[in-house]
Each structure stands twice: as C-alpha cells, then as structure tokens.
Amino acid sequence: MTVLDNTEIEEILTKMAEDLRTFLQERNRENIAIVGIHTGGVWIAQRLHQLLGIDEALGELNIAFYRDDFSQIGMHPSVEPSNLPFDVDNRHVVLVDDILYTGRTVRAALNEIFDYGRPASVSLVVLIDRGEQELPFKADVAGTKMSLKAGEHVKLTGPDKLSLVTSIPAK
Amino acid sequence: MNLCIRKGHLFDPASGLDTVSNLYIRKGEIVAIGRKPAGFEIKKQIDVNGRYVFPGLVDLSARLREPGEHFKADIASETRAAASGGITTLICPPDTTPIIDTPAVVELIHQRSEQSGKTRVLCLGALTHGLKGERLAEMYSLKEAGCIGVSNAMQPIENTEVLRRAMEYAVTCGMTVFIQPEDPWLGSGTMHEGAYSTRMGIPPIPETAETVAIARDLLLIEETGVRAHFMHLSTARGVELIRDARKRGLPVTADVSIHQLHFTDKDVESYNSLCRVKPPFRHHSDKERLIDGIKKGVIGAICSDHQPLDHDAKMAPFSMTEPGVSSLDVMLPLVMKLVDDKLLDLETAVRAITHTPSEILGLPLGSLAVGTSADLCIYDPEQRWTVSENALTSAGKNTPTLGWQLKGKVTHTLLKGRIVHKSRI
Amino acid sequence: MTAQKPGIQLNKKGRLKHFLTTEELSRQILTEILDTAENFAGVGERAVKKVPLLRGKTIANLFFEPSTRTRTTFELAAKRLSADVLNINIEASATKKGESLLDTLQTLESMHCDMFVVRHANSGAAHFIASLVAPGIRVINAGDGRHAHPTQAMLDAFTIRRHKGGFNGLKVAIVGDIMHSRVARSEIHAFNTLGVKEVRVIAPKTLIPAYMRALGVKVFHDLKLGLKGVDAVIMLRLQRERMQGPLLPSADEFFKMYGLTEERLKVASPDVMVLHPGPINRGVEIDSEVADGPRSVILEQVSHGIAIRMAVMSLCMGSVE
C-alpha cells in the first residue's frame, strides 16, 4: 500500500532541505559533505544534494561489511561498493538515510565513516523516523514521523519516482 | 568322518558337473557323487537344498600381514575371512616382514595357518634376496620348505640382468615365477593416467608402466624358458601382449584382481582413497578388455589381491595413503555379480576361481572330482547383504564396495572334509 | 576414508561453504566472488584498511608446504576483515602419517578456529580436510599439489575482468609448466565457466599432461602459434627443480622457445595483457621488458589477490545453514 506518493515525498524533501540548511547555519557548519546510505539513502541524498546546490560529488556508503547480523544471516547480496570521493578528515558530514528504524544501520555507517577518517561532525538526516530506535541515535532532521503496526514493513521505492509503500509479509 | 552333502547343485567346470545330487566325503576326500558307495555309513549330513556346491576357491594372491604387520591383520583373522568367503587355498606373496626369503619364514606361516586350520596357505618365495632386486634368493631351499613359486611381489626388478639370471635360476629349480608387471619409473604415480588424473592433478601411472614391463619380461621369458605367471593385469594392451605371447607358445598365464573388473579411474574422482590400488583402476575400456580376456582364456584366473589395511592407512590425502583393497569377503559375490550382469557365464567365472588357478599352481585342487580333497564352497546365490565394516570378517575394512548391496553368500566352507565356516543363518 | 561428495563446496542452500576448486561451481557463484571482491577492492586505500565483518572469528593458516607470499596475502585479507589469524607451518615430515594431520585438525578445532586456509603438497588435501572438519568450520584451499589454487585463478579472472570488462569473446593463453600447475587447472575451469571463448595452453609436450584437452583447452607446443590473437597471456612460474632433468634440458633453452618477449607478443591482440602469479623468474619465463612494461598487470594482481581472498573468506564464513 502506498502511504506517500512521489508528489508528497518531493514536498517533504523541499522542507527537509530547508530544515537542514537552518540546522547547519545555526551551528556554523560550512563546506559540508553529503553521504547517502545504499540504497534508499542515496536517492534521498541525491535530491538534497541538488536542492542545496552542492558542487562536490556525493558520497555513497554500502554498509554490508559493517552489519552486526553477519553471523546470523551471512553476506548480503552485493550492491555498489562504498565510495567517498573526498577526504573525510575535519569535514562536516551529513549522513542521509531513507528510514530510521532500529538505528543499527546508522551505527554501521558511522563506523565505516570513521574508518575513512575523522570528521569534524556528523549529522543525521532521514526521510522517515519510525521512532523505534534500539540505539542512542536521533535524527537531526527528519522528513516525517511514522509509526507502524507490529509486523508491518515500510520501503522506499525508486530511483526515478520515489514513493513509500508498506506491506505485511504473508506468513 | 563320513559326510554327505545332500541335494546340492554341484557345479564344477573341471569335471563338467552341473547337477543336483548328493556328494559323499570320507577321510577328507570326495569319494562319490550321486549314489552312496557301498558300506558308506553317513555320520553327518548337510542339507543344501539346491544351493550351489562349488569346489573350494583357489586365490592366487592374498596378503595375511603376518609376520610383521599385526596392526593391519594376522593369519588367524585373514584365514577366517578366507574361509567365510569360500576360499580353501590361498597364495601368500613374499612381502611379509621379514620377507619370505628363508625357510624359517615359510615354516612360521605354515605353522600359524595350520593352527588356525581355516584355509590352506601356500607361500610364494622371494625371487631376489630381500626383494631388493640385487641378488638371488635361495629358491631351492624355499622350494624345499614348501614354496609354490617365486616372486618379487610389488617390487619391480630394475636391473634387467638380475631379472634374467633370476629367471634362469628359477628354471633350474623348477619354479614358476610370479610377476606383477610394473616399470618402476613409469609406475611412480598414484592413479591411472587419463582425463581424471589430469583434472585431479594426481601424479599419473600411464598404461606403459604395465606394458613396458610385460614386453620386457616376455622377451626374457622367451629367452630363459621360465614358466611365468603375470599377476593383476590392469590394461587392455597388457592383455593383448599376453595373448600374443601365448599364441607364440610361451609358457605364460595371467590373472586379474576382482576389483579391477568392477572399478575404473572414474571411481577415484573426489579423491576416494579406498580406490587407491596398485596397479591402479584403469579406464572403462580397459575393464571391458580384461573381462574379454577372461572369456577368451588369456586371463585364466581371477584373484582377490586381498590387501587388508589399518584404518589410518587410508586417512590422508590421496597420494599419501597406502594402496590396497580388502577383498576376501566380497570376492565370490563380486565374481557372481559379473555372471548376474551377464558379463561372464557361470562356467567361465567359476573356472577362473577354482580350476585354472589350481592348474597354474600345478595342484590337484579346485575340482569336485572323486578322489580329490574335499574342499567345498556352498553358496546361496539369493541371499542379499550390504557390505559394511561389521559385515566383513577380514581385519581390513578398506574396500570401495562399502555400502554396496550384494547378492549371494557362502553358507558353508569345507576344507579337507572339515567344516571351517558356517554362516549364522 | 569414505568417499567425498562432489557437492562438498556448497551448503544446503547452494551457497559457497568451502572454496576448494573452481571446478563444478556455477558461473553465478564465480561472478558473486568477483563482485564481492570489487566491493573489497577499495578497503586497502582507506585510512583504516579494515572492515569489521569477521570480528571475533579465528582463521588458521595451515601451511604444510612453505609459501610466504600466499600466506601473507591470506593473512592480510583475514586481518582486513578483522579476524584473528593463526599461522601454522607444519613440516612435511611431521605429517608423514595421516593421524598426525588429524591430530592437528582436532587440536585446532578445540581451539575454536572458524576457518582453515590450507596449503598442502598433495592433490586432494583440502578436500580431505574439508570432509573431516566439524560442520561449522570452513576450508579454503590455498593450493593442493597439482590440483587447484582457486583463489589465484579468481584473482587472475578479476584482473582480466577489470581490464576487459568481461570474459565473452576473449582468448586466454596459459604458458609454461602446465603439468605441475594447480594455478593452470583452476584457471581453466574458472575461465571456461565464466565464458572465455578459448583457453589455450602453451608448453613443450613434457610439461603438458596427457588428456589435457579433456579439460576444455586448445593445446599448443609452438609459442608463436599459440599467442596469435590472444587477449591475455598468463605466464606460469617454472620451478627451479624442473629446469634441468627429464622434462627440460635447461632454463636457457626454455627461454629460447617459450620466454615471453615484446617481439613475440606482437602476434597477440594489440591490447593484450600479461599476467604472472609470481614470483617471476626474469629471463626464464618472461623478459624484464615485458614484466615491467605497459601490458604487464603483475603488480595489480597482488593487490587484487587480497580483495579476492577477502571476498572468498567472507562468502564462505557468511554461508549460514
């Protein structure tokens, strides 16, 4: 079931770009580097990158090698490799993901970023905040909050026309 | 004791017997077939009910591992296994420890096997001292001690001069030379040279490892006039060489190991160390030509080439394992499988494990003729069983037939009229 | 003692469990190894050259045959995956008896090793070990006798794919001691499965085993004929002990007939690439001008070797039942 269509998401993204700009200005963070988490996070990051008019190339993270569930579920099907086309040291990094759920993905992404260098700061931007974190993370900028029923899943589809769909997997 | 074997399917290629009848035994000899002789008082009888009664099997090569390798097997265990496989005469090659190159070792083996009393054990003496291929063994003394022939077993004689002289000396002593043909240099690998060895990266043993040796040996046999027997042929080309030599009138005979008629190099795939043997399992076409060689009489005998090993001997990467198959227990069912599979007729098959090997040894065995030793093998061709470590009597459990469903089991074995094996059913 | 099943490399779900040979593995699995290695290739260029994937796992390098080079790349790969590494060099004399090999394995299992990387002078050794280890333990073959060296083959495939974009339509020649080469055997299977158009082997008859064509290769004894139109040439290392004896008269004569020079490369495709598993015998199998020249990818191969080994280790370790 589609819960947010493309038009609605684009509206949210415009507002997120504004919020992010304000957030960064208040903290005097300039010369930021945007990093999206594969796959949905990269799509969101690309939009924000455009809306904020940043020249420097976007960073992409594939956190497959940093997951904490390797022993339980093994290797994930491989996607694009991580690519941070800039020096992370002393940069203000804006980490972008589509959905903030348990916080474990953010944990993995932070670990990976720190393996590239020592950023001056990292702020977290997400499209959807489910509010069910299991780790001490909170989004600095969130597009919208959403609570789901038990067993319900939410997924961002793209990359051309983004929309948000929920599903309850058949038992 | 007077014994009557009742209503057995007496089957003996040597005397042309193929009939259901009674067989009478007195003082260890077959005294009559069919009608009870006058004055014969039956003390005991075995009801065979139409099961086969074959002459006791004669096996041209079986290692007993005694003296010297008790951790693998011993005379007691292996003669028991032979009896349970219907084998009443077996030939022990000279590569024991110490080697059979002195009468004392022969006497020891005879003594031990008589203690066990399960099967007749005859020895091959060494052809060269210590099997080293350097100086002659005391063949005359070995003959006096009871050796039935001489052999260098699995140690090829590299020095052709020594081999020629050894053959001449064997002629002098009236001994048959038993040869396992192998060129020591070409035979240094561990499996048959073919597509499988190439893929598996196993050092190969080419066909020529056998044929080069046969060709050389045949020329020396021709020159020296020695009576020779080739053991454990494995190649089609080897069979051809023996066939041609026999056509020329050379006094040569040959045998094949039973497992060579069931396995090929494909079975070694996945590094199955139980399939490591010497000579190696060859190509499928070699196997077919070996069977054909039996049909045509070029290969007279099928032997067990029994080589029991301890468990650890096969627990290593393929080329580091010891070669050999334990086969006394499965020999007869595997021969009969060839008959069931219509690859051999019953007469040829039974002849190859009874009469012809006795002829090769020059012994009046392997027959049900009246007046011969009452060595019998009573065989139930329908009994099904699964080969497992527990089902094997031999101390060696190293057979690639583990897990096979086999048809046919020996129910009784008689040696000189004495029951030396009786199956539990 | 029992027969090993051919499917020993895969788990019940068809995922890679042990990596013993490139033979009998599907194109899908080989491609997955290459793709995963692509992801790991960048790790070595970062400030922290490590990912935490195998943190807490213990990998034992069991080397029954000395090889500092191969062991080092496996060790580095394991460390970049954050695994703990044990290097165990076992003298050949100590394992003459099969039971001491078993003892070694049992000891290591009781130390809770999760993976064995095995190098052994006997073909089939890695299969043998894989058939004996406890169910949770993974085995990677780092070279067994003349049989297989699958990670080396995959790193060469990786290097070729990076340069050529893929394998379709390619002609690849392997030159040198094919007879004793586990690398050649593993490459032949991998290249054929990955879709290489033609795999050639070039060597004197003494260094090509009988029935070689059964592996799906074209056999050449003439270097010039064999190199004609090839897109990649893999030069094998010629072991010193083979240079004189019944297989070859001398290293000089081998170089005269089979040594790779710029001049001889002219018949190959214009953008031919030259590979060598190392270490190079300059002036025996390859001329320095070629080894250090623009067509040579020999140094790349080394760094790709680490990525491939990281990929294989993580795929095997990650194939949970």
**B361-385 pLDDT per residue, tens:** 999 999 999 999 999 999 999 999 9
Q: Do C156 and C288 sit in the same domain of this protein? A: yes
Residue C1 lies in a domain: no
Q: Do C294 and C203 sit in the same domain of this protein? A: yes
Measured between CA atoms, the residue of chain A closest to residue C49 is A115
B305 is catalytic: yes
Residues 6+ apart with CB under 8 A from B42: B2, B3, B4, B36
Residue numbers of the domain that contains C69: 6-148+303-317
Q: Is C34 within 8 Å of C154 (Cβ atoms)?
A: yes
Mean pLDDT on B187-210 = 96
- Of C3, C98, C123, which is closest to B201 when you measure between CB atoms? C123
Q: Do C90 and C109 sit in the same domain of this protein? A: yes
Q: What is the mean pLDDT of chain B?
A: 96
Looking at the predicted structure, is the pLDDT value of residue C147 above 90? yes
Quick one: pLDDT at residue C48? 84
Q: Do C126 and C193 sit in the same domain of this protein? A: no
Return d(Cα C36, Cα A81) in angstroms, integer: 9
Measured between CA atoms, the residue of chain B closest to residue C143 is B201
The answer for A 11-70 residues in CB contact with C (under 8 A) is: 62, 64-66, 70
Q: Do B194 and C102 touch (CB under 8 A)?
A: no
Q: How far is A159 from chain C (nearest CA, A)?
A: 21
| Cis, peptide link before residue B381, omega less than 30° from 0 | no
Residue C192 lies in a domain: yes
From the candidates B59, B74, B305, B380, give the one annotated as an active-site residue. B305
Looking at the predicted structure, is the pLDDT value of residue C4 above 50? no
**B28-59 pLDDT per residue, tens:** 999 999 999 999 999 999 999 989 999 999 99
Residue C53 lies in a domain: yes
Looking at the predicted structure, is the pLDDT value of residue B195 above 80? yes
- Of C46, C47, C318, which is closest to A74 when you measure between CB atoms? C318
Quick one: pLDDT at residue A159? 87
Q: Residues of C near A (CB-CB distance < 8 A)?
A: 15, 32, 35-36, 38-43, 46-48, 50-54, 314-315, 317-320
Structure tokens at C245: 């004896």
Q: Do B198 and C148 touch (CB under 8 A)?
A: no
**Which of B188, B199, B310 is best to mutate for the C interface (most C CBs within 10 A)?**
B199
Residue C43: list chain A partners with CB under 8 A.
65
Looking at the predicted structure, is the pLDDT value of residue B184 above 60? yes
Quick one: pLDDT at residue C90? 81
Q: Do C154 and C258 sit in the same domain of this protein? A: yes
Return d(Cα A47, Cα B125) in angstroms, integer: 92
Q: Do A115 and C35 touch (CB under 8 A)?
A: no
ipTM: 0.91
Measured between CA atoms, the residue of chain B closest to residue C144 is B201
C-alpha angle A60/A62/A68, rounded to 5°? 140
Residue B212 carries which side chain, given as an amino acid letter? Answer: V
Looking at the predicted structure, is the pLDDT value of residue C212 above 70? yes
Domain ranges of chain A: 2-68+81-167
**B106-150 pLDDT per residue, tens:** 999 999 999 999 999 999 999 999 999 999 999 999 999 999 999
Q: Residues of C near B (CB-CB distance < 8 A)?
A: 1-6, 8, 23, 96-99, 101-102, 120, 122-125, 127-128, 144-148, 182, 185, 209-212, 214-215
C288 CB burial (10 A radius; 0-12, 13-18, 19+)? exposed
Q: Which residue has the tokens 């001056």?
A: A120
Contacts of B183-190 with CB under 8 Å at 24 or more apart are: B183/B156, B183/B208, B183/B209, B183/B210, B183/B212, B183/B213, B184/B156, B184/B158, B186/B212, B187/B156, B187/B213, B187/B278, B187/B279, B189/B280, B190/B276, B190/B280, B190/B318, B190/B319, B190/B323
Quick one: pLDDT at residue C96? 54
Structure tokens at A96: 């972008």
A116 and C CB contact within 8 Å: yes
Looking at the predicted structure, is the pLDDT value of residue A107 above 50? yes
Residue B62 carries which side chain, given as an amino acid letter? Answer: A
Quick one: pLDDT at residue C97? 52
Q: Do C30 and C50 sit in the same domain of this protein? A: yes
Q: Give the number of other CB atoms < 10 A from CB of residue B41.
A: 7
Quick one: pLDDT at residue C2? 38
When pLDDT is cut at 50, 70 and 90, the band that residue C89 belongs to is: confident
Q: What is the CATH number of the domain that holds C277?
A: 3.40.50.1370
Going from the N-terminus, what domains does chain B have, and what CATH number goes with each?
Answer: 3-53+373-422 (2.30.40.10), 55-361 (3.20.20.140)
Q: Of B80, B134, B75, whose CA–CA distance to B105 is shortest? A: B75
Q: How far is C34 from chain A (nearest CA, A)?
A: 10
Residue C139 lies in a domain: yes
Using DSSP bridges, classify how beta strands A92-100 and A141-145 pair: parallel, antiparallel or unpaired: unpaired
Q: Do C16 and C98 sit in the same domain of this protein? A: yes
**B228-270 pLDDT per residue, tens:** 999 999 999 999 999 999 999 999 999 999 999 999 999 998 8
Q: Of C193, C261, C195, C264, whose CA–CA distance to C228 is shortest? A: C264
Mean pLDDT on B58-64 = 98
Q: Do B315 and C99 touch (CB under 8 A)?
A: yes
Q: Do C194 and C175 sit in the same domain of this protein? A: yes
Helices (H), B26-132: 75-84, 103-116
Q: How many CB pairs under 8 A join A and C?
A: 56
Quick one: pLDDT at residue B375? 98
Q: Do C108 and C79 sit in the same domain of this protein? A: yes
Residue environment code for C194-218, b if the CB has 16+ CB neighbours within 10 A, otherwise e = bebebbbbbbbeebbbbebeebebe
Return d(Cα C255, Cα C249) in angstroms, integer: 11
- Domain A2-68+81-167 listed as CATH 3.40.50.300: no
Q: What percent of chain B has pLDDT over 90?
A: 97
Structure tokens at C175: 């030159």
Q: Give the number of other CB atoms < 10 A from CB of residue B324.
A: 23
Return d(Cα B78, Cα B327) in angstroms, integer: 10
Residue C90: list chain B partners with CB under 8 A.
none
**Is there an interface between C and B (3+ Cβ pairs < 8 A)?**
yes
Q: Do A75 and C318 touch (CB under 8 A)?
A: yes
Q: Do C279 and C158 sit in the same domain of this protein? A: yes
Q: Residues of B near C (CB-CB distance < 8 A)?
A: 193-195, 197-204, 206, 269-274, 311-321, 398, 400, 402
Q: How far is A87 from chain C (nearest CA, A)?
A: 10
Mean pLDDT on A19-42 = 94
Residue C168 carries which side chain, given as an amino acid letter? Answer: N
Q: Of B204, A143, A128, B209, whose CA–CA distance to C210 is shortest? A: B204
The total of structural domains in chain C comes to 2
Residue B274: list chain C partners with CB under 8 A.
1-3
Chain B: list its partners (3+ Cβ pairs within 8 Å).
C
Q: Do C266 and C128 sit in the same domain of this protein? A: no
Q: What percent of chain A has pLDDT over 70?
A: 97
Quick one: pLDDT at residue C1? 38
**C223-241 pLDDT per residue, tens:** 999 999 999 999 999 988 7
Q: Do C180 and C237 sit in the same domain of this protein? A: yes
Quick one: pLDDT at residue C43? 85
Quick one: pLDDT at residue C49? 86
